[in-house]
Amino acid sequence: MASTSLRRFLCVLLVVVGLCGLTACQAAFTVDTKVNEDGSGVITVGLGLDDKALARLGDPDRTVEVQDMKAVGWEVESARKEADGLTWIRARKRFASLDEANDVLGSLNPATLREFRVEKSASIAQTDWRFSGTIDLTGGLEAFSDPEVAALLGGDFLGGRAVEIEQLEGRPIADMISFRMSVELPGAEAPASWSPSLRDPDPTQVVAETSQRLPIPLLPVSSKGGSTILLVVLVGTGGLGALVALRRRFRMAPR
């Protein structure tokens, strides 16, 4: 259900382009992921429309179907105009663990956003984070189309007007739609971002990695002459080093 609802959410972009014709409208789609140090976070999907697109579509709070998304835990904001001049509808899905995050990422649109995962590996001194996947827009706009929407438009997600629109506009339909994906991992100074085009001949490989060095905790020194963790580590390390050296000398000694 989640995959279907999100697919239709994005398909609104295609319907808008089909409705706009000569009005040269613009539409945008974004997927933003933020991961916290405890593995929780939020994934935000955004649909942005310029004034001409909005005039054709009507009130997005009424025309964009989001009930399926709400039913599976998405929080959908009311449409509002933002600083970039577009009116945005944003839907957020919060996750409590990386497993949940990967489930949500896997449901976005498997045909175009493939094998996206957030991974964490930790040692005593460092924690590493990795976000990876493939954005494949090589299938064009059809990859985002929903069969039911296409049926309503006469079997074509643009109502059979793709060539006509491109000729009248003097540019590809793909140029009327922008796509952006970003991720903010723990330890990153700023989110990593990718903006592939529907005109790209090859898929975009996405990889973002961060590392966090962890401080070694020390116990306080006892006022009565107790030892500290640091002393134990130093002595233990020194003893181990001496043991290794003796062992090597023993192996090298002639018999």
| Residues listed for the chain | 255
pLDDT one-digit tens code per residue, 166-212: 776 677 777 778 899 999 999 999 999 999 998 899 999 999 999 99
Mean pLDDT, rounded, for 118-132 = 95
Give the tokens for residue 44: 């935000």
pLDDT one-digit tens code per residue, 214-234: 776 655 555 444 444 443 343
How confident is the model at residue 14, as a pLDDT? 55
**Who's near 212: CB < 8 A, 6+ residues apart?**
37, 126, 127, 128, 129, 186, 187
pLDDT-based confidence at 100, cuts 50/70/90? very high
Where in the chain are the domains?
2-213, 218-255
How confident is the model at residue 140, as a pLDDT? 74
pLDDT-based confidence at 59, cuts 50/70/90? confident
pLDDT exceeds 70 at position 242: no
To the nearest whole number, what is the mean pLDDT of the chain? 76
How confident is the model at residue 252, as a pLDDT? 45
Mean pLDDT, rounded, for 79-104 = 93
pLDDT exceeds 50 at position 151: yes
How confident is the model at residue 26, as a pLDDT? 78
pLDDT-based confidence at 93, cuts 50/70/90? very high
Confidence (pTM): 0.75
pLDDT-based confidence at 235, cuts 50/70/90? very low
pLDDT one-digit tens code per residue, 1-32: 445 555 556 556 556 655 555 455 778 889 99
pLDDT exceeds 70 at position 74: yes
